[in-house]
Amino acid sequence: MTFDSRLLNGIGVVSAVVEAGSFARAGEALGLTQPAVSRAVARLEERVGIRIFNRTSRAISLTDEGREYYEAVAPLLAAIEDATVSAGKTKALVRGRLRVNVDGAFGHFVLMPRLGEFLDRYPELAIDVAVRDSMGDLVADGFDVAVRFGFPEPSAIRAELLLETRVLTCASPAYLTRFGEPTHPRDLENGHQCVLIRDPATGRPFEWEFQRAGDVIPFRASGRLMVYDTGSLIAGCVGGIGIAQLLELYASEILADGRLVHLLPDWSEETFPLYAYHRASHLVSAKVSAFLDFVRELVSEE
């Protein structure tokens, strides 16, 4: 069977459309007109016998068949790029643009303070970091990798457990001066205010529980303040508005400098996981592999 180079060209155009989010922006990136991009996609759809994109006047999105096809071919494109770079004997194997999806807790407090080190290692790599409430559709949204706290949902996306960090109950010294320090989880029911954070999956506050040596005490936290992001949760707690539950991975420095006090330390065995996500394939691109190695370094230091 003779290899049809137009097939590879069409796959490259589809990849550009997914990453750019529109035919017009993909054309700008590729140096093609929008009609040329549309024709390339149409030819590929005819060649493989599926409709790859849903098209409306306002937006495009991958069809279910298109997503499955793209998940299969995107790692192959990355492998071809890596092989080409390697064959050219350049030292910059890790290069191009890496698109990363993170939640606020990891992005603001773990990744961004150290990301300069990663960029220094790979001077030909550029990174787009998107902080989002939820991961969404990693493939359709054009992301290469995601790092997020929380339990993964069943998906074709590969999920790698990076760390399980403790959930710590904290308050400011000023708050404890006003309301006293609880010595048992049930003490929180007596006149204490909690700073709540919204679970984007449910729209309700995250539930609290306390664990010690196999004993679990669920607690329905209540308070006058509910926030939507980790930065506001920390600021509200440090500001003395109420007691909050924070993750040890990002709260340890604030506790060490005395701005917050760790409450009920004997009841702090609950953990919360941190996962990395990328397309389910053994063909992981060099830039994704390098980023995952860097993230593993960060969490291992913590």
More confident residue, 67 or 131: 131
pLDDT of residue 89: 45
Whether 182 maps to a domain, the answer reads: yes
Could you tell me the CA-to-CA distances from 52 to 24, 136, 140, 278 in Å, in that order?
Answer: 17, 19, 11, 21
Whether 195 maps to a domain, the answer reads: yes
Residue 49 Ramachandran class (φ > 0 left, ψ -120 to 50 alpha, else beta): left
Backbone angles phi, psi at 62, to 5 degrees: -70, 140
pLDDT of residue 108: 93
Whether 205 maps to a domain, the answer reads: yes
The CB density around residue 9, as the number of other CB atoms within 10 Å, is: 14
Give the C-alpha separation, 142 to 67, whole Å.
11
pLDDT of residue 50: 85
pLDDT of residue 194: 97
Whether 180 maps to a domain, the answer reads: yes
pLDDT of residue 88: 46
Rounded to two decimals, the pTM is 0.70
Q: What is the pLDDT of residues 236-246, one digit of tens each?
A: 999 999 999 99
Percentage with pLDDT > 70 across the chain: 88
Q: How many CA atoms lie within 13 A of 269 on its CB side?
A: 9
Range of the domain at 244: 164-270
Q: Residues 4-15: what's their mean pLDDT?
A: 69
Q: What is the pLDDT of residues 54-89, one digit of tens each?
A: 887 677 888 888 888 887 777 766 666 665 555 444
Whether 97 maps to a domain, the answer reads: no
Whether 2 maps to a domain, the answer reads: no
Is the predicted pLDDT of residue 11 greater than 90, yes or no?
no
More confident residue, 151 or 241: 241
> What is the rounded radius of gyration, in angstroms, for the C-alpha atoms of the chain?
23
Whether 266 maps to a domain, the answer reads: yes
At 283, the pLDDT band (50, 70, 90 cuts) reads: low
Q: Residues 111-127: what's their mean pLDDT?
A: 95
Whether 158 maps to a domain, the answer reads: no
Residue 194's domain is classified under what CATH number?
3.40.190.290
Strand partners, 272: 165
Backbone angles phi, psi at 197, to 5 degrees: -125, 135
More confident residue, 158 or 231: 231
pLDDT of residue 78: 67
* DSSP label at residue 91: S
Q: What is the pLDDT of residues 183-235, one digit of tens each?
A: 999 999 988 999 999 988 888 999 999 999 989 999 999 999 999 999 999 99
Residue 96 Ramachandran class (φ > 0 left, ψ -120 to 50 alpha, else beta): left
pLDDT of residue 82: 60
Closest CA to 249 of 205, 201, 298: 298
Number of domains into which the chain is organized: 1
pLDDT of residue 26: 78
